[in-house]
Amino acid sequence: MAADDDKTVNEQPVINFKNTDDLTDYYCPFCNQKLFRGKVTTFNMVCSNCNKLVRSQQDYHTDNEEQS
Ligand SMILES: [Zn+2]
Protein backbone atom coordinates (compact mmCIF):
# COMPACT_ATOMS: atom_id res chain seq x y z
CA MET A 1 0.00 0.00 0.00
CA ALA A 2 2.95 2.35 0.70
CA ALA A 3 4.17 2.00 -2.90
CA ASP A 4 1.80 4.76 -3.96
CA ASP A 5 3.96 7.33 -2.23
CA ASP A 6 6.95 6.69 -4.45
CA LYS A 7 4.93 7.33 -7.56
CA THR A 8 3.66 10.70 -6.47
CA VAL A 9 7.11 11.89 -5.37
CA ASN A 10 8.78 11.05 -8.66
CA GLU A 11 5.98 12.42 -10.73
CA GLN A 12 6.88 15.78 -12.20
CA PRO A 13 4.65 18.08 -14.17
CA VAL A 14 5.48 17.94 -17.84
CA ILE A 15 5.39 21.27 -19.57
CA ASN A 16 5.29 21.17 -23.31
CA PHE A 17 8.01 23.66 -24.08
CA LYS A 18 8.29 24.89 -27.58
CA ASN A 19 11.40 26.42 -29.00
CA THR A 20 10.61 30.06 -29.66
CA ASP A 21 13.88 30.89 -31.36
CA ASP A 22 12.37 30.59 -34.81
CA LEU A 23 9.40 32.77 -34.01
CA THR A 24 9.20 36.34 -35.15
CA ASP A 25 7.23 39.18 -33.64
CA TYR A 26 5.11 40.96 -36.19
CA TYR A 27 4.21 44.60 -35.72
CA CYS A 28 1.70 46.81 -37.42
CA PRO A 29 3.53 49.11 -39.86
CA PHE A 30 0.98 51.84 -39.21
CA CYS A 31 0.88 52.07 -35.43
CA ASN A 32 3.61 49.63 -34.34
CA GLN A 33 1.12 47.59 -32.38
CA LYS A 34 2.35 44.06 -31.88
CA LEU A 35 0.17 41.86 -34.01
CA PHE A 36 1.27 38.34 -33.22
CA ARG A 37 4.25 36.08 -32.82
CA GLY A 38 4.86 33.23 -35.13
CA LYS A 39 6.60 31.97 -38.18
CA VAL A 40 4.72 32.69 -41.34
CA THR A 41 5.70 33.70 -44.82
CA THR A 42 2.53 35.56 -45.66
CA PHE A 43 -0.25 36.97 -43.55
CA ASN A 44 -3.24 39.14 -44.08
CA MET A 45 -5.02 40.58 -41.09
CA VAL A 46 -6.63 43.69 -39.67
CA CYS A 47 -4.75 45.45 -36.88
CA SER A 48 -6.80 45.43 -33.72
CA ASN A 49 -5.41 48.82 -32.75
CA CYS A 50 -5.82 50.97 -35.86
CA ASN A 51 -8.13 48.69 -37.85
CA LYS A 52 -5.96 48.89 -40.92
CA LEU A 53 -5.33 45.94 -43.15
CA VAL A 54 -1.84 44.61 -42.59
CA ARG A 55 -0.30 42.28 -45.07
CA SER A 56 2.98 40.48 -45.22
CA GLN A 57 6.04 42.39 -46.28
CA GLN A 58 6.33 40.68 -49.60
CA ASP A 59 2.89 41.84 -50.58
CA TYR A 60 3.73 45.33 -49.43
CA HIS A 61 6.65 45.70 -51.75
CA THR A 62 4.59 44.49 -54.64
CA ASP A 63 1.76 46.86 -53.86
CA ASN A 64 3.97 49.87 -53.26
CA GLU A 65 5.95 49.36 -56.39
CA GLU A 66 5.71 52.62 -58.25
CA GLN A 67 6.31 52.85 -61.93
CA SER A 68 8.11 55.99 -62.95
ZN1 LIG B 1 -2.11 49.20 -36.40
Cα(5) to centroid of ligand 1, in Å?
54
6, 9, 11 from 2: Cα distances, Å = 8, 12, 16
Return the pLDDT at 5.
65
**62 CA from centroid of ligand 1 (Å):** 20
Rounded to the nearest whole angstrom, what is the distance from the C-alpha of residue 33 to the centroid of ligand 1?
Answer: 5
Question: Structure pTM?
Answer: 0.52
Strands 34-38 and 24-27: antiparallel
Q: For the segment 36-64, what is each residue's pLDDT rounded down to a tens digit?
A: 998 888 889 999 999 999 988 654 455 55
Residue 13 confidence (pLDDT): 75
47 C-alpha to center of ligand 1: Å? 5
